Copies of this chain bind each other. A is one copy, B any other.
Amino acid sequence: MRYTTSEENYLKAIFHLGHGQQEAVLTSEIASNLNTTAASVTDMLKKLSEKELVSYERYRGVRVTRKGERAALDVIRRHRLWEVFLTDVLKFGWDEVHHLAEELEHVSSDELISRLDRFLGHPRFDPHGDPIPDKNGKLLAGKVRSLDGVNQGSDWVVSGVLDDATPFLQFLNRKGIRPGIRLNVIHIDPYDQSMLVAVESGREEYLSFDVTQLITVAQA
């Protein structure tokens, strides 16, 4: 393990929380993301800063350095490749793989990941529609447009989700929604932005604004 499991988890969290954002990531955001306390986060930030993986100013927040970003992308690459393995090879549901990948991502062997990548046929996206960084840490532009804010009547293909947690994905499973599925937006309620959509299977489903925000779509 190049870095400890704990260090890797912090780097990943800081990278995700700060990605595509100008402002530094706050201690409290990291604490809530990792389900730990602000005091623990402060301790770790000092250690990561010492190792030049993050640039950190007391009370001012933190961001990953180039070195820290690279480490984070390596972890993300491992995470997403294992997710592909678990769904495509071992036939797990897309709602079951995230927490397993959280463990497997810390197994440290470049050779293992390289061979896994080759065996899987160099997949470019994980089961949730997230792009897989290449071996040099290059990440393709990810999921951009989310289902909230599209026009009534328009057609889309689900490209991914912005939350990998099991309960949310099981909820989508019940509605027949997953990456690759086509959607037609029948109606958007002007009051609460809730949406009625026709799913490929023919079913019609109501989606609250909270949910449409977490579903990403591409042109049909």
Contacts and interface: CB of A to CB of B under 8 A. Distances in A.
A103 B92 contact: no
Interface stretch (A107-115, A129-137, A161-169, A211-219): A107-115
A115 B96 CA distance: 13
Q: Oligomeric state, in number of copies?
A: 2
A97 to B, nearest CB: 10
Contacts of A108: 103
Interface string A78-115: 00000000100111100010001001100111011001
Which label, helix, strand, loop or mixed, suits the secondary structure of the A interface?
Answer: helix
Contacts of A90: 112, 115-116, 119
A31 to B, nearest CB: 24
Given A90-B112, A90-B116, 12 more contacts: A89-B119, A90-B115, A92-B111, A92-B115, A96-B111, A100-B107, A100-B109, A100-B112, A103-B107, A103-B108, A103-B109, A104-B104
